[in-house]
Amino acid sequence: MNPKLIYPRKGNNATESVYLQSVVKDPNIIVGDFTIYNDFEKDPRDFECNNVLYHYPLCNKERLVIGKYCSIACGAKFLFTGGNHSLKSLSTYPFPVFPDEWELDEWNVARAWDNHGDIIIGNDVWIGYQAIIMQGVTIGDGAIIGTRAVVTKDVAPYSIVGGIPAKEIRKRFDDLTLKKLQDRRWWEWPAEKVKKNIEKILNGDIDNLAE
């Protein structure tokens, strides 16, 4: 159990999955322990440039924050403010992006779009194949994002969402189990304690999950 590894698997297709924490270099992309990204189309080590799009933190002051034990499927995308266009303008054309052409102040390029802020992904979140997460969205712990969903609004903890735009399909567990999971917060345990409780986690044994 070493979250600092690059490739957590062995054998066939071992290089398709990486621990994101070990390959992301941008300080404005923060990834928790054991979060994995799988890519069978491109090199998963290039997550930062292939999957985090229009991310210009120097002018937009925005971050991508991903919690621990998340699973991110091939082709999932995180779209930031730089891919937006301002709705306050009378035109959708991004004039400030071309300051020399239009004799505008170069420092104010961010006027071209509306800034909706950070993308925050909780712990133990599963993001499905080619899902898109839009700027300003917060996804709660334990949520599941369906294949090719487009997430434009916050997602509640332990809910399953899908579609375009993504809508809640159902909760993963009953209210009592949800409360126990949120009280236990097992992802904050030391890795050795998680290891000792893996069978209980896999079997859905919330009542005997160590506190």
Give the count of beta carbons closer than 10 Å to the beta carbon of residue 25.
6
Maximum CA extent, the chain: 67
Q: Are strands 36-38 and 17-19 parallel, antiparallel or unpaired?
A: antiparallel
Please work out, in degrees rounded to the nearest 5, the angle formed at the alpha carbon of residue 150 by the alpha carbons of 13 and 130. 15
How far apart (Å, rounded) are the C-alpha atoms in residues 72 and 68?
12
| CB contact at 8 A, 36 and 72 | yes
Q: Is 14 exposed, middle or buried (0-12, 13-18, 19+ CB in 10 A)?
A: exposed
Sign of the alpha-carbon dihedral angle for 57, 62, 66, 72: negative
How far apart (Å, rounded) are the C-alpha atoms in residues 29 and 51?
12
Q: 85, 179, 195, 196: which one is catalytic?
A: 85
Q: Is 205 exposed, middle or buried (0-12, 13-18, 19+ CB in 10 A)?
A: exposed
Q: Is 116 a catalytic residue?
A: no
How far apart (Å, rounded) are the C-alpha atoms in residues 97 and 120?
27
| Catalytic residue positions, numbered | 85
